[in-house]
Amino acid sequence: GTIIYPNTFLTGKTKIGKNVLIEMGSQIKDSNIADNAQVLAYSILDGAKLHLGAQAGPLARLRPGADIGEGAKIGNFVEIKKSVLGKGAKVSHLSYVGDAFIGEETNIGCGFITCNYDGANKNVTKIGKNCFIGSDSQTVAPVEIGDNCFVASSTTITKDMPDGAFA
């Protein structure tokens, strides 16, 4: 039941499950795509994992170490590198998530950036479960946001937030 549209490139050790949709122009290398997942048009996956029912694209880029949880959604013009997204997490528009852990059911707004490189080292951002991260926000790693937190639009997070906090 898997459907692979024309002009799609599958290379390396790529594995594709059942009932998967891979739309036109996608490039998939050394990646694992589980059952019922979707790779929408012109997305690039390199060393990535899409779990059961996850979606990437259109025009998404999943770099090595991108691990997209069950039912999670990566939208258009989103780049994910060396990051784990929990079940049902969403990064829908125009964002960069690198060296991060995003908890279950967390919603990341448009234009979010993990500032993970300090000029010498890569640092990690951790965002807990059921968080809302507003549009045009940034995290300056290393930083940790607890569960059930709310980050308002255009906020830069430079310090850890405990569970249930508002910034």
Active site residues: 93
Length of the chain: 167
